[in-house]
Amino acid sequence: MSKYDVAVIGGGMVGAAVAIGFAKQGRSVLVVEGKEPEAFTPEQPMDIRVSAISEHSVEILESLGAWQAISDMRVCPYRRLETWEHPDCRTRFHSDELNMERLGYIVENRLIQLGLWAEFEKYPNLTLRCPETLQHIEFSAAPQVTLSSGECFTADLVVGADGANSKVRALAGIGITAWDYRQHCMLINVETELPQQDITWQQFNPTGPRSFLPLCGHQGSLVWYDSPKRIKQLCGMSTEQLRQEVLSHFPAELGDVKVLQFGSFPLTRRHAQSYYKPGCVLVGDSAHTINPLAGQGVNLGFKDVEALLEVTEGQQTLSMDVLKQYERKRRPDNLLMQSGMDFFYKSFSNELAPLKFVRNAALKVAEKSGPIKAQVLKYALGLK
C-alpha cells in the first residue's frame, strides 16, 4: 500500500494551493479531484464563478509560483469600491487612500485553479488523481484512504479541501454550526455599455444587496440577492426579460447591459466546530463558509493555507499540537469575518425607519472618517 505524507482531498483553488505548499516543503503529496478544470482560450466566455482577490492573496499565489500564469490569462484589477443604500449616503474607497496601485482583482475561479495546477508538474513529489473521488477514510494511527476506483493508501495527514459539504469533515466526525440565510444569490454576466472596469460597487435593498464586479472588456458580473422564489422566477426568464429586470432594479450607474449568462445558488453559513482531528485538518470552505457579501470566501481560504504552511514549516511530524496552532491562528479571523458580514447583511435587511436613518447616516459619516475608513478597508480586503 502506498504511503504519502499528505493527502489533499479536493483540488480546487484552496486545495491546489495547500498541495503546492506542502510539496514545496519536500513532503510527498497526493491530490484527489473529481474534475479537471477546462483549459483556457482567450475567446472563451467569462465564467459565472468569479472572486475578488485581495493583494494579500496575490502575494500568497506569487509565493506558490502561480500568479504569473493566472495574470497571463485574464484578470481585471479595480481601484475603487463604493457601497450605499440611499444614493446620497455613500462610502467610497480608493486605492490611493492606502497608497496602493489597486484594491485587488476580479478573477474567474477556474483560472486561479488552472494557474495553480500548472505548478503541479514542477514537483515530482506531488501526485494527482483526477478524475477521482473519495470513498472512505479509516482514521487510525495513520489514516487509510480508499478512493472510488478502489485504490487505497495511507497518509500522515488528510487535508479536507472538498468544499462546503465536505466528506472529509463528515468522515472525521467534525460537526458544524450552520444556518440558512433563506436567500439565494444570482450571478449574471453582462456586457456593459459604459466603461466601469476600475470599480466594484454594492447597493443595499430591503430584499438583499445588488452588486457589480468588473470583468475584462466592458463586461461585468452582477450579483443579485433575493428570496428563493424571486431568484427562481428570474432564472426562468429569457435573457431579454432578465435584461429588463436588471435595468429596472439595479442603480442607474450600471447603464445598459446585454445579458450573457447566469446561474444561482443558496446562501448558507457554516463553521466547523473544530478545524482538526487526529490525522485530519480542514481548510477553506470545508472549515467555514461566509455570506459572499464582500467576495472574501477564497481570500479566507488562502489565509488558511498560509497559516497551515507557516505552522508546519520545518516540522518533521504533523502533530496535533501543530494543527492546534493552525486553528488558533485562523478561527478568530474567520469568525470575525463571518460575524462582520452577517452584521452588515442583517442591518441593511431591516426596513424600520429609525434604523434605516441611522445606517445611512453611518455610511455618510464613514465617508469622512479618514484613518478609521482606511482601517475598515484593509480589513474588508483581507489585508494584514
* CB 286, CB 277: distance < 8 Å: no
Q: Residue 371, Cβ neighbours under 10 Å: how many?
A: 8
Beta bridge partners of 157: 6
pTM, rounded to two decimals? 0.91
The pLDDT tens digits of the residues spanning 4-51 come to 999 999 999 999 999 999 999 999 999 999 999 999 999 999 999 999
* CB 188, CB 259: distance < 8 Å: yes
How sure is the predictor about 222, in pLDDT bands with cuts at 50, 70 and 90?
A: very high
C-alpha cell at 136: 472512505
- DSSP state at residue 150: S
Beta bridge partners of 7: 30, 158
- Burial pattern 284-303, b for ≥16 Cβ within 10 A else e, equals bbbbbbbbbbbbbbbbbbbb
How sure is the predictor about 245, in pLDDT bands with cuts at 50, 70 and 90?
A: very high
What would you measure as the largest C-alpha separation in the chain, in angstroms? 66
* CB 8, CB 277: distance < 8 Å: no
Residue 78 has pLDDT above 60, yes or no: yes
In this predicted structure, what is the pLDDT of residue 267?
Answer: 83
- Burial degree of 215 (CB within 10 A; 0-12, 13-18, 19+): buried
* CB 266, CB 248: distance < 8 Å: no
- % of the chain with per-residue pLDDT over 90: 72
Listed in sequence order, the DSSP H helices in 35-156 are: 55-63, 67-73, 109-120
Q: Identity (one letter) of the amino acid at 122?
A: K
Q: Which domains does the chain have, with CATH numbers?
A: 2-81+109-178+269-346 (3.50.50.60)
Average the pLDDT over 303-328 and give the result: 96
Best-predicted range by mean pLDDT (103-107, 138-142, 357-361): 103-107
The pLDDT tens digits of the residues spanning 118-148 come to 999 999 999 999 999 999 999 988 899 999 9
- DSSP state at residue 46: P
* CB 222, CB 250: distance < 8 Å: yes
CA 298 – CA 300 distance, rounded (Å): 5
